[in-house]
Amino acid sequence: MTSHRITQGGLIDRSRPLRFSFDGKTYQGYEGDTLVSALLANGVRIMGRSFKYHRPRGPWGAWVDDPNAVFNVTLGGVEFPNCPGATTMLRDGMVTRSVNAFPSASFDLKGGLDLLHRWLGAGFYYKTFIWPDWHLFEPMIRRMAGLGAVSAEVIEGYASDQMHDRCEVLIVGGGAAGLAAARAAAESGRDVVLVEDHDQAGGRLYQLDSVEGQTPQDWVADQLAAIEAAGGRVMTRTTAFGVFDHRMVGLAQQGPFGYAPRLWRMRADRIVLASGAIDRPVTFANNDRPGVMSLDGACEWLARYGVLAGRNIAVLSNNSFAAPAARMLAEAGAEVTEIDPTTGPIRALGSKRLKGIEVAGKRHPADTILVSGGMTPLVHLWRHAGGKLDWDERTQAFLPGAAPEGMAAIGAANGTFDLDQALTEARAVARDEPRPDRAGDYRVKPLWPEPGSKGRQWIDFQHDVTLKDVELAARENYVSVEHLKRYTTLGMAQDQGKTSNMAGLAAMAAIQGRPIPEVGTTTFRPPFVPQPIALYSGPHAGQLYHPLKRLALEPLHRAADAALGEYGGWLRPGWYGSGDPAGHVRAEVIKARETAGILDASPLGKVEVMGPDAESFVNFIYYNTIKTLKPGHIRYGFMLTERGNVMDDGVIARLGPNRFVISCSSSHTDHVRAHLEAWRQDGNDPDRIFIHDLTQQWSTLTVTGPKARDIVAALDMPLDLSADAFPHMTLRETTLNGTPVRVARVSFTGDLSFEISIRSSRAADLWQALCAAGESVGAGPIGIEALSVLRAEKGFIIIGKDTEGETMPHDLGFGIPRQKKQAAFVGDRSLHMEVANRDDRRQLVGFRVDPGAPPLPTGAHLIGDGDTPRSEGYVTSSYDSPTLGHPIALGLLERGADRIGERVAVWHLGQRSSATVCAPCFFDPEGERLNA
Amino acid sequence: MRDDRHRWTPYDGAWSPYEVGGIAITPVTPERQILISAPAVLSRHPGAIGWPDIATGDSYAISLRRDRVLLVNGPDMAEGWDDEIGQAVSDVTDAYSVFDLTGPKALELLKHGTEIGLQQPSRSAARMLFGLGVFLYRHGAEDRFRLHVLRAQGQTAWQMLTGQAGRL
């Protein structure tokens, strides 16, 4: 075995052995191991395969910077895909499998793909699969793509807790700088939270012999005790994965394996970034061989897990951290050779098993190559928050520059790599004292990819992006780093570019002969490390994912065998009865036309507008003139957007001189309320207009049909229901058994209708009384589906169904206010723009089909008959009318109003048919039944 | 056309008190809830409850925004625009469901659904909780929280609160 466990040292508990398996073989690790450290301890080098070429992959880094060791892990009978092995803590009984490999990582049948690498470079898919049709190849490629497969079984209870919290100072990172800052801030009386993604805080301190005169363990323990004694909170196994608006930091707190992490939305007055830095890979030939690893990672495996990465180690480093690292490895028993990588071309020797390294023509035998191309500060969160980055020549790295408000970076994340300076800086920042200049003994020689050099040199280990791919992208003019990323997939692997971005952008800089800062970085986006979707959804799952509004009468509807469904955000009866929905809907339509239907219309908006300026306000909000509306009367009208497009339709009733109630569409109430509030506060005097949305205070029951008057009369309200005393489009306020009710004569079916609104707690009594009265004349409940047919027979529109985003009121036959209304109204000017006056606007029309023909498909296109037909409109509503005995349809058609009687071709999913354009009203066009 | 009746838990608007370690959730039925909007309405209701104020007694006013209060169990008032006082009045007794959350873990439960703390005061009791618009304040005790949620969302609030309380 090359890598192996040493007999002492590390933070693992050697008294607690744990059994696990990898690719079918059983191994032993210890409590405190990660999956990767445990496998390394057992001499396992190959832990996965690369994404494209299926090259063997060993681990690169010891923590979040490892892109290679990705496993599907089964524990307790449940499988979790794509677990990062470097950060997944070992548990007894884990069954792990490499991803993207079959039958195992060490022997993968698809490994032969690597032989085709000359033809599989960047852009291969884009260039190859365009003929004859991408979709021909897509299924196969989709099957081959991806890493671990998701298990089909549902993991019960896998849901994230979500918490909100606040603190004065949030310290991100529990290394030396983070601990020192947290202690200083807490002891200054601040409310401090320190988050650390390892089990045990301390960062890289365990690689050292001592810290400020103490062992690392003692120093860390002292800091933690002092932080907590001062009232600070320490959250381990917690990753700050993103910084969002107003210093809200997303924290993912890991629990036991198999449980979804808990999300903390932590609002901090101040964020101190102490996230540290990672080693950069060096780009050289065959640098992806298993056994080429991060020098810092190897030191971490040794310091935290007691694992020595190799026996005969070549250290390839361009910086001053190499010497102490080499010393540490040698003291642990390895034979270590330090090599200067800047002297000439480099090549790793061997394939699955490393044999050595060749530098400037000189060969050095080695079973392990530990690489450090310089430290890269982890500045992801800094960039999430909008902080700037400055290129620093001394450290050859992008370092935090101009700070976002309330944020500071310290320690290695700030480019302060030397411990003493980092501690001084951390304490100064925590106490709001002037911070010392960046300085220190850290030295690094520039060492970047050399375009044109020989051999296959990996930039992105997981996604198989090589230096030649970057050169190819540059030749094809994908020179922006953002384009480079998308063209080559560089930085899009599981580590999201932590190891590849610097090399990639440096390579592009070298190819173009530009300085690195001129090329810049790609955009840093949350999450910092992959997170399960459950973290974001939290408790919003199942019925709570998209909860519907519930009717006060739902129990009665259920008792009446209602089929419930979502209609505009409400759970409403679609029809009543089980089985044969079409038959039930048809029967309900016939019932409503022959006797009466009783409908729960409670979701209809009931938004009251009150105040001295209420009249002028609603006159301004509506397309139609409302100021002439008299108390007790109702008017139909449109609300428009500022672009003149129809936003909502409905009726408005006047209850008094300074009081109106807007009955907007059921699904648009929230939108209309917000629309009214916005205009109330903008351009109007908000002290003279007030808007109360009372939709849920009042339940509304509609009785519609020729027997509607008889049914309502049975309620015995003190109200004259005769057509003369109570005509269509009027409203009366009265009482029912002592409870105030509003009765509106307004119809959405084309038949005599009464809408009765009553406070919701009394709606059940009203419903039962109406149903009882209706039963005696053959009337009964109807659902939304029947209502949809009834209103279409009359040619009444549903906004959003029979209108589109460009529809204006004159497209629907309501052109007079546009020409005549004198007062200003929302959308006025837009109705006179060129687009509003085009003669090819899509206008509302009806369609008839030939006798015996089926209904037109909703959504079918109405096409011209030229050589190259194009869509001139489409069918918006279509039904087989039970009332009329033939299909009917509504639609939007270019110049529709001028094409009444014209035959139009209809196209739907490759099938052609035809229809005749007609007026949109199919039922009682004279309105006799409406006004009865 | 879809029949989804079985996908939604039936409810009848009459929730039974729910109790789980350290927290009790109880439906409350105020006799009257009146919404009043007017310029400087807060000056006419100087004790209007915001966050984290504790409402005491049976009758009180909740501050919702600079021109709006909710009177709980106040006097019966004529609805509509009151020209004399210059205020809009609406009975919303049936528009809001009301729940009490009591116990040492009640605040923690609320923190699952909203960014809240006793050290972060707000002049308004209106806020979002688990994505629902609510009025939230304390009532009668340090650890008794009362929330008003729109009637049609009462079942959602109940399912969310009891479900999350069960996980604490």
DSSP states of A273-307 as a string? E---EEEPP---BTTTSTTEEEHHHHHHHHHHH-E
- Give residue for tokens 């050697």: A14
What percent of chain B is modeled with pLDDT above 70? 100
pLDDT band at A495 (very low <50, low <70, confident <90, very high): confident
Find the Cα–Cα–Cα–Cα dihedral A458, A460, A464, A465, rounded to 10°. -80
Angle at the Cα of A90 from the Cα atoms of A87 and A94, rounded to 5 degrees:
120
Nearest to A181 by CA among A380, A441, A433, A390: A433
Question: What's the CA gap between A435 and A413, in Å, rounded?
Answer: 15
Question: Which residue of chain B comes nearest to A162, CA vs CA?
Answer: B112
Residue A437 has a pLDDT of 84
- Decide: residue A154, CB within 10 A, 0-12 exposed, 13-18 middle, 19+ buried: exposed
Mean pLDDT of B89-111: 97
Query: Are A571 and B153 an interchain contact pair (Cβ–Cβ within 8 Å)?
Result: no
Residue A26 has a pLDDT of 98
Question: pLDDT tens for residues A439-470?
Answer: 788 999 999 999 999 999 999 999 999 999 99
Mean pLDDT of A237-257: 97
Distance from CA of B118 to the nearest CA of A (A): 11
* Least CB–CB distance from B2: residue in A565, A582, A695: A565
Across A718-849, where does the E strand assignment appear? 731-736, 739-744, 753-759, 780-781, 842-848
Residue A709 has a pLDDT of 97
For A623-691, give the DSSP string.
SS--TTPPTTBEEEEEEE-TTS-EEEEEEEEEEETTEEEEEE-GGGHHHHHHHHHHHHHSSS-TTS-EE
Asked if residue A869 has pLDDT above 90, the reply is no
Residue A361 has a pLDDT of 93
| Diameter over CA atoms, chain B | 53
Question: pLDDT tens for residues A261-309?
Answer: 999 999 999 999 999 999 999 999 999 999 999 999 999 999 999 999 9
Instruction: Provide, as residue numbers in chain B, all residues whose Cβ is less than 8 Å from the Cβ of A673.
Output: none
Nearest to A510 by CA among A453, A565, A589: A453
Mean pLDDT of A173-182: 98
Residue A315 has a pLDDT of 98
pLDDT band at A407 (very low <50, low <70, confident <90, very high): very high
Residue B107 has a pLDDT of 96
* Least CB–CB distance from B80: residue in A165, A548, A655: A655
- Decide: residue A77, CB within 10 A, 0-12 exposed, 13-18 middle, 19+ buried: exposed
Q: Which helix (H) or strand (E) holds A16?
A: strand A13-22
* Least CB–CB distance from B156: residue in A544, A554, A655: A544
The residue of B89, B98, B112 whose CB has the most chain A CBs within 10 angstroms, and thus the best one to mutate to test that interface, is B112
Mean pLDDT of A838-851: 96
Angle at the Cα of A904 from the Cα atoms of A900 and A910, rounded to 5 degrees:
155
Question: pLDDT tens for residues B86-95?
Answer: 999 999 999 9
Residue A155 has a pLDDT of 82
Mean pLDDT of A60-73: 96
Find the Cα–Cα–Cα–Cα dihedral A174, A178, A184, A189, rounded to 10°. -70
* Least CB–CB distance from A164: residue in B4, B35, B114: B114
The residue of B105, B110, B151 whose CB has the most chain A CBs within 10 angstroms, and thus the best one to mutate to test that interface, is B151
Question: pLDDT tens for residues A331-343?
Answer: 999 999 999 999 9
pLDDT band at A33 (very low <50, low <70, confident <90, very high): very high
Question: What's the CA gap between A736 and A719, in Å, rounded?
Answer: 10
- Decide: residue B58, CB within 10 A, 0-12 exposed, 13-18 middle, 19+ buried: exposed
Instruction: Provide, as residue numbers in chain B, all residues whose Cβ is less than 8 Å from the Cβ of A550.
Output: 11, 152-156
Mean pLDDT of A368-394: 97
Instruction: Provide, as residue numbers in chain A, all residues whose Cβ is less than 8 Å from the Cβ of B119.
Output: 166
Domains defined for chain A, CATH in brackets:
162-278+377-430 (3.50.50.60), 448-531 (1.10.10.1100), 549-604+697-791 (3.30.1360.120), 607-693 (3.30.70.1400), 838-918 (2.40.30.110)
Distance from CA of A553 to the nearest CA of B (A): 8
Residue A749 has a pLDDT of 97
Residue A792 has a pLDDT of 98
Mean pLDDT of B109-135: 97
pLDDT band at A79 (very low <50, low <70, confident <90, very high): very high
Domains defined for chain B, CATH in brackets:
15-165 (3.30.1360.120)
Asked if residue A433 has pLDDT above 90, the reply is yes
Question: What's the CA gap between A793 and A807, in Å, rounded?
Answer: 21
Asked if residue B7 has pLDDT above 80, the reply is yes
Angle at the Cα of A702 from the Cα atoms of A698 and A703, rounded to 5 degrees:
145
Mean pLDDT of A187-192: 98
DSSP character at residue A849? -
Asked if residue A674 has pLDDT above 90, the reply is yes
Nearest to A820 by CA among A641, A624, A561, A618: A624
Question: pLDDT tens for residues A619-665?
Answer: 999 999 999 999 999 999 999 999 999 999 999 999 999 999 999 99
* Least CB–CB distance from A267: residue in B11, B88, B115: B115
Residue A127 has a pLDDT of 87
Residues forming beta bridges with residue A308, ordered by sequence position? A4
Report the interhelical angle of A295-305 vs A322-331 (nearest 10°). 40
pLDDT band at A873 (very low <50, low <70, confident <90, very high): very high
pLDDT band at A153 (very low <50, low <70, confident <90, very high): confident
Distance from CA of B165 to the nearest CA of A (A): 11
Asked if residue A226 has pLDDT above 90, the reply is yes
Question: pLDDT tens for residues A588-610?
Answer: 999 999 999 999 999 999 999 99
pLDDT band at B122 (very low <50, low <70, confident <90, very high): very high
Distance from CA of B87 to the nearest CA of A (A): 8
Instruction: Provide, as residue numbers in chain A, all residues whose Cβ is less than 8 Å from the Cβ of B111.
Output: 163-165
Asked if residue A233 has pLDDT above 90, the reply is yes
Mean pLDDT of A893-918: 95
Question: Which residue of chain A comes nearest to B112, CA vs CA?
Answer: A163
Question: What's the CA gap between B131 and B113, in Å, rounded?
Answer: 8
Phi, psi of A162 (to 5 degrees): -125, 130
Asked if residue B168 has pLDDT above 90, the reply is no
Question: Which residue of chain B comes nearest to A565, CA vs CA?
Answer: B4
* Least CB–CB distance from A658: residue in B5, B81, B159: B81
Q: Within chain A, how many helices (H) and strands (E) appear? A: 22, 49
What percent of chain A is modeled with pLDDT above 90? 92
Residues forming beta bridges with residue A917, ordered by sequence position? A847
Question: What's the CA gap between A637 and A721, in Å, rounded?
Answer: 25
Mean pLDDT of A908-916: 94
Question: pLDDT tens for residues A533-567?
Answer: 999 999 999 999 999 999 999 999 999 999 999 99
Asked if residue A1 has pLDDT above 80, the reply is no
Question: pLDDT tens for residues A878-890?
Answer: 999 999 999 999 9
Residue A147 has a pLDDT of 84
Mean pLDDT of B138-154: 97
Q: What is the mean pLDDT of chain B?
A: 96
Question: pLDDT tens for residues A711-762?
Answer: 999 998 999 999 999 999 999 999 999 999 999 999 999 999 999 999 999 9
pTM (two decimals): 0.92
Q: What is the mean pLDDT of chain A?
A: 95
